[in-house]
Structure 1
């Protein structure tokens, strides 16, 4: 009877591997292979389990060495197409300047995700529910993309404008679809502007429908997930979140705007192939004050393009401050327009 059960289980795993291969989902293919390895280990076949793991590690390493071009992931279909925005990550964690505290937490998450099948052999699950809190432009969305890139997973951004409706029960039903997809298809799922979903259930301006949505979200978060998809909730206003939510997250990371040291690191990382022998950093840091990491990156890259077209081999302080000031002007225009409309 046990042998028959194993045969059925193996057949299902082979079918799942074939489906993932047909869909071009290599990460799911590797995940199932590691599940097979875990099963072999539980039966005492340690050598076979280790052989499978080594083969998966070698295949992943070879895939990473083949190309730096992002993998093409299949798009969501049906009702999910309007709920999930697929973004193929083009960066990794090394491309984002993070505080040592945040980097340490994310490195631990990445390690647990990469070794998730080993953890499951011992009855443990990897960290997969993350809350990113911080002001606009502090790098929350960029970090979610980099985390997906690091794990070589697709990034799915939940479209709140399609998720939240005024019809009773519809938002919770759509939320159910999103979580079902996360349980079926491994990826990083980003709820940006999460306070729209997770606001305090006792807030005076709340309505019964949104309380039901939040209760559904809390329930869905607790459900076990065979795929260990990573759920990232990002908010600019953590004080608005319901306290019950904080207990559900494995990690709560606080983001800040780039410090002076981080401004330097961001710019230096994006000045290649230009030289920059005599930059006045205090002037540059003052020009970058209040800008997000993404805005500083854009400014540095524009300064490099300007130098290339001028046939210069180096970037000067004036090049960078000019581009940084342009970004500051763009922010001012946007803020004034928001104030006029609001």
Structure 2
């Protein structure tokens, strides 16, 4: 589930732009894999790594009265991202509409008129802002866990909505002389029961697979919130990245359209049952999230939190035996495992939430290093 985070504002300084424009172009080694980052904003210190990103997805445009729109502040934040194209001309900047708790999709998709309004407004926004594509983040068709309206017709209407968007983007692209990309942020397991995966696949350039938040405040146990494979302790059809990929492949999606997700943040649980060092155990309450810099500074092998590695799941976790606190997260080792998995299965690449959560780009660099090597 894509989280709304506090936006870290930042301006790309003109002097930095000039210096970076003269940097060694070999840093951006050609790779068949996408690195896609959702961005609520931009931190100036990250500008040195902009050539490691294929696509930045601005989060989020709004859905108001059935139209995809940006307010003035949103437009300014988007333009900050678009300015990065001066440094990396190959960078694509897309716009995502939606996010967790954002409704209006079911209503807009329920009629042909509503779908056309959505599609035309999105195409107009991209053309006006000079962006490169649209990402649809409806969480989720046929589901109302986030508090939004849903309908049994969402499954059919989601396909029809994407068809309308694809048509409008193609029409705008013909006039603008470019191909506007269309992607969708989708979860897995039961959360795509309202999506006809096979039907929407031909309409999308790629899927942004939200292979994180597998465990959260709504799940009964702890666990790996962005684990690659199944832990020996996982029960039943518990969610993992590999199981998500297999679900989409079984539906007929080409492997190179699957962009798996990584998390630049961890999730902490409190009052956790101590068996197996807290892994896949019941807990008293959900404690909250921690971005990667905070994890490094205050938690990993600090203050009683000990790092452990699940070789089966290819994922780390922290356990505090004194306080019975448990933290699940991604780190360079688990990201390297995801990179290897992407290459072994010929997937499309890796996506992460969210750009400003790792100002030093340590985890982005791990993604890049793993995918640029053969």
Q: Same fold (TM over 0.5)?
A: no
TM-score by length of 1: 0.35
Q: Where is the strand percentage greater, Structure 1 or Structure 2?
A: 2
Mark the structure with the bigger radius of gyration.
Answer: 1
